[in-house]
Amino acid sequence: MKFTAAVVALVAFICGPCFAAAPPNIIYFLVDDMGYADCGFNGGKDILTPNIDKLAKLGAVLKSFYVQPLCSPTRAALLSGRYPTHTGVYNVVTPGATWGLPLDERTLPQALGEAGYTTAICGKWHLGEFRAEYRPSQRGFQHQYGHMMGNLDYNTHLRDGKLDWYRDDQPLKEEGYTTRLIAKEASRLIRAQPADKPLFLYVPFNGIHSPFQVPTNYAEPYQNLPKLRGTVAGMLAAVDEAIGQITDALEENGMRDNTLIIFCSDNGGARAGKGTMNTPLRGGKGGIYEGGVRVAAFATWPGKIAAGATIDEPMHIVDWYPTLLKLTGAPTAQKHAPDGLDIWPVLTQGAKSPHDAILLHGTTLNVKALRMGDWKLLLPASDKMELFNLVKDISEKQNLADAQPDRVKAMRARLDEMTKDAVPLGGPLPGADKE
């Protein structure tokens, strides 16, 4: 873990109690299909993301933050704190599919609602909608706005010719570019939030997922880039503007100082090298190489998470569930124990990762990987094991499996132990290209 001088200067302060006088507001920004190196704070060079970069600079950049390789599995992992092996959400939930995040999974908004939070989602759900009980308003969100599926038209809000735009789970016809509408609604909720009640606001943008659509004014600064890259750049610029507007609303309502802001992508960049940039990672969306599961991420909370930190300790999105429950004092009793672990000491006290191993599961039962310390073992579709030292070889170019048989054996045993109780796939395997 690397710390700047500012971090060191604040260690004495942040090692004290991590609870504010009042429970913190929590804003979770989830960007869809963003590349590891698309934002400036994480190495991006050709897209301007000033609002995102400003927030990252005010907090801790998480350099080894893992998610699932596709959309629905990452959302399930965040909201349940559990790996796909325990929820069955290995792949995307398609429109009308007769499954979703299992109903016996306690969700993060349910837990925070029990702790007295206002809970709201503005953006993309993607965890089931074929029956009312699978939809956001019955999974813990007191306010819902946005869409149930992915790949909808940004302007008409149609997916496969059908309207996919809702308020409180009821169909809603309105005009506007979805990224702008999400920002407007999120800002409205913030401004309406009572001062004596904490807010959990989950903002899963559909930007920068396909279809690749963006108002001309966002794309104009990027006409020098190849067409697809320029369009994606404009889409990310729109997301950046939206995040700036939402952050401004926090400031205006006097909420910023007691708000934990979390930011990440839902998986590695799509069409890597053409639409998005995952440099220096190998692969992209849908795969279990680093480019598919390791994403740009940060967390910021003034006075609690020191500004200017860079944290290299491995963490997984399942960790936010137990971390936020503990941080907010939410009840922890539930049917299924989370797979995630408390990462607050890592964020605030320079602690090591609480994991001895992190599971990185693919979209089918036989494709999976394991991160243990500096090492990563992969069982790709070919079933030929691969081993990489990620500290020395972040791009996963040199397969050391043959040179390290004892390590492979030990890591394979740990991987088998972690997946021995894997549940079946939650539903038929859809194509991953259209989500």
β strands within 81-230, DSSP E: 118-124, 143-147, 158-159, 162-163, 166-167, 170-171, 199-204
Please tell me whether residues 333 and 367 are part of one structural domain.
no
**SS3 state of residue 383:** coil
Domain total for the chain? 2
Q: Is the pLDDT of residue 11 over 50?
A: no
In a domain, 425, yes or no: no
CA angle 337, 67, 250 (to 5 degrees): 90
Please tell me whether residues 383 and 327 are part of one structural domain.
no
Report, as residue numbers or ranges, the catalytic residues.
Answer: 71, 126
In a domain, 147, yes or no: yes
Please tell me whether residues 397 and 253 are part of one structural domain.
no
Mean pLDDT of 202-230: 97
Look up the CATH number of the domain holding residue 117: 3.40.720.10
Please tell me whether residues 190 and 169 are part of one structural domain.
yes
Domain end: 349, 384, 404, which one?
349
Mean pLDDT of 166-173: 98
pTM of the predicted protein model:
0.93
Q: Is the pLDDT of residue 432 over 60?
A: no
Query: Helices (H) and strands (E) in the chain — how many of each?
Result: 12, 19
Please tell me whether residues 362 and 342 are part of one structural domain.
no
> Over the chain, what is the mean pLDDT?
93
Say how far apart CA 225 and CA 219 lie, in whole Å.
Answer: 10
Q: What is the pLDDT of residue 433?
A: 38
Q: Is the pLDDT of residue 218 over 80?
A: yes
Look up the CATH number of the domain holding residue 373: 3.30.1120.10
Mean pLDDT of 398-417: 97
pLDDT tens sequence across 51-64: 999 999 999 999 99
Mean pLDDT of 165-192: 98
Domain extent for 289: 5-13+20-349
Long-range Cβ contacts of 423-426 (<8 Å, 24+ apart) = 423/85, 423/86, 423/87, 423/88, 424/88, 424/365, 425/88, 425/90, 425/91, 425/364, 425/365, 426/87, 426/88, 426/89, 426/90, 426/91, 426/93, 426/99, 426/100, 426/102
